[in-house]
Chain A
Amino acid sequence: MAIDLIFFVRTLVFPGFLFLLVLVLFFDWFERKVAARFQNRMGPSYAGPFGILQPIADYIKLFSKEDITPKQTNKFLFVVAPILAFSLFVFALFYIPIDGSNVILDSSFEGDLLLVLLLVTLANFGIFLSGWASLNPYSGIGATRILTQFLGYDIPLILLAIGPAFLAKSLSIVSIASSQVTVPFILLIPWSCVLFILVLQAELEKDPFDIPHAETEIVGGYETEYSGRKLAFIKLSEDFQFLIGASLVTVLFLGGFHGPVFIGPAEFWYVFWFIVKTLGVVFILEYVGNVSARLRIDQVVHGNWKLLIPLSILSLALTILVEPLLRSVIG
C-alpha cells in the first residue's frame, strides 16, 4: 500500500499533475510579463500580486463559459482532439526529470528521449486534427500550416537532440542530464544548442514561425471555432508544450536538475535549479520571439529543408568529430 500512496502522490500532486499545472500557469504569467516588458508595457498587474493570478483567472473564466460545438463540425474529433493533445503533452512531461527522477519512479529507460519527442509529435497531430475537424476555412488553413511547418522542423529537432545523446552515450533523459554534472553541454557544443533553440521556436509556434495562428491573416488559426472548455484545453496544451520545449533545452544542454546543493533536502535544490534554468530558457525564447517578425509559410519550408536540415546534420557531424577531445570532461 505504501508504494501505491507514493505513486499517487507523485503522479497527482508533486512533481506530477498539480505541480506541473501550477508551474505551467506561472510560466504563462512569466511569458506574458516578459513580452509586455519588451514592448514597454506593464503586463498583467491587478490579478493578485504583480498579476501572478492572471492565467488562473483566464482559465477559470474559460472553463465557466458556454461550450459551443458548431453544427457543421465533426463532433467526435472536435471534442476529442484538444483533450488528446493536452493529455499527450502531460504524459510527455512525466518523463522530464524535475526533482532528480521521473514523475513515475523508475520509469526512466534507455530511449525515453525518443519517446518524449514522439509524444510531442503525436500531440501536434492532435492540434492539427482539432483545426481540421472545425471545418472552418481559417481553421483549415491553420491546420495545414501546422502540418507543413511541422514536416520541416521535426527532423532537425530530432537530429539536434541526438548530439547531446551522443556525447552522453545514452538515449535516456536522466543519464543525459547526469553526464553534465561537471560541464553542461552548452559549453561543449554551443552550435547544437543555438540551432536547437531556433528549431524549438518553430516547434512552439513562437514569433518568427507563428504562422499556424497568425492573427492578422487567418483569425485564430486552428483554434478559431473553439470556445469555453475546449479552448481552455487547447490553450493549456500550448502552455504545456512551451514547458516541454523549455525543459528539453534545460535537460539536454544545461544539465537539467543538477546544480550546487546547499542546506536541506537535495530534491528541493534539484527543483530549484530546474525551474531557474527553465526560466532562463523561457526568457531567451521570448527574446527571440519578440525581436523577430513573422515569416511566410514558403520561407519557413525553404528555411527548414534547405538550411536547418543541412546545418543540423553538419552540427551532428561536428559533434561526432570533437567528441574524442571532449571525452575527458564529460561526467
Chain B
Amino acid sequence: MLKWARTKSPWLLHFNTGACNGCDIEVVALLTPRYDVERFGIKLEPSPRHADVLVVTGPVTKQCAPRLKMIYEQMPSPKFVIAVGACACSGGIFQDCYNISGRLDEIIPVDVYIPGCPPKPEAIVQGVAKLLGKLKG
C-alpha cells in the first residue's frame, strides 16, 4: 500500500543549477494541458520540504553546488533525484569550464538520467515513469 501511494503521488521540486532555461521550459511544459502530468498524481511543489523528487536542470556551477546540497538535505526521505538534460547528466558543453564544479552525480546521488538538449517532454515523462518503475521494485 505504501509503495502504491508513493508511486501514485510523486511531488516534484524543480531546481535550476545554471541551465540555459531550455530544459526548464520543457519541465514546465509537463504541467500544460498537452502533457498534464497531474494525471499521474505528479505535482510541482514550491518548497523542498514538501517534495519527493528533485528535478535538476543544468550543469552544476561552483556557486550553486553548496545550495544544491542544502536543498537536497532539506528534503524529507525517501527522496529521489532526476537529472534532466545533457548538462545535468554530464556537464554537457560546459563540462570543462572554469566555473563548473562537475557533473550532478558528483555532488548528490542521482536516480534517473534524462539526456537531451533539451529532452522532449515525452522523454521526461518516460524518465519519471522509469523512476516510478524503480520504486515499485
Chain A residues engaging chain B, CB cutoff 8 angstroms: 32, 36, 39-47, 51, 53-54, 56-58, 60-61, 64-68, 215, 219-220, 223-228, 231
Q: A60 with B1: in contact, given A44-B38, A54-B8, A54-B9 (CB under 8 Å)?
A: yes
Closest to A235 in B: B50
Closest to A220 in B: B47
Q: A64 with B8: in contact, given A219-B47, A220-B47, A227-B76 (CB under 8 Å)?
A: no
Q: Cβ of B137 < 8 Å from any Cβ of A?
A: no
- Please, could you name 6 A-B residue pairs with CB atoms under 8 Å apart, sorted by A? A42-B38, A61-B2, A61-B5, A64-B5, A215-B46, A219-B47
Closest to A215 in B: B46
Identify whether the interface residues of A are mostly helix, strand, loop, or mixed. loop
Q: Cβ of B4 < 8 Å from any Cβ of A?
A: yes
A74 to chain B, nearest CB (A): 17
- List 16 extra interface pairs beyond A32-B38, A224-B46, A225-B47, CB under 8 A: A41-B38, A43-B39, A45-B40, A47-B41, A51-B39, A57-B41, A60-B2, A61-B5, A64-B5, A220-B45, A220-B47, A225-B49, A226-B49, A226-B50, A227-B50, A231-B49
B51 to chain A, nearest CB (A): 9
A66 neighbours in B (Cβ, 8 Å): 76-78
A44 neighbours in B (Cβ, 8 Å): 38-39, 41
**Candidate in A40, A43, A53, A227 with the most chain B CB atoms within 10 angstroms:** A227
Identify whether the interface residues of B are mostly helix, strand, loop, or mixed. loop
B9 touches A65 (CB 8 A): no
Measured in the bound complex, the distance between the Cα atoms of B24 and A39 in whole Å is: 21
A40 neighbours in B (Cβ, 8 Å): 33
**Candidate in B1, B47, B76 with the most chain A CB atoms within 10 angstroms:** B47
A67 touches B76 (CB 8 A): yes
Interface string of B49-66 (1 = CB under 8 A from A): 110100000000000000
B123 to chain A, nearest CB (A): 20
B9 touches A61 (CB 8 A): yes
Q: A64 with B2: in contact, given A215-B46, A227-B49 (CB under 8 Å)?
A: yes
Q: A46 with B46: in contact, given A61-B52, A65-B78 (CB under 8 Å)?
A: no
A41 touches B47 (CB 8 A): no
A223 neighbours in B (Cβ, 8 Å): 47, 50
B50 to chain A, nearest CB (A): 6
B54 to chain A, nearest CB (A): 14
B88 to chain A, nearest CB (A): 23
Measured in the bound complex, the distance between the Cα atoms of B77 and A65 in whole Å is: 6
Closest to B42 in A: A44
Closest to A224 in B: B47
A228 neighbours in B (Cβ, 8 Å): 76
Measured in the bound complex, the distance between the Cα atoms of B50 and A225 in whole Å is: 8
Q: Cβ of B120 < 8 Å from any Cβ of A?
A: no
Q: Cβ of B122 < 8 Å from any Cβ of A?
A: no
A32 neighbours in B (Cβ, 8 Å): 38
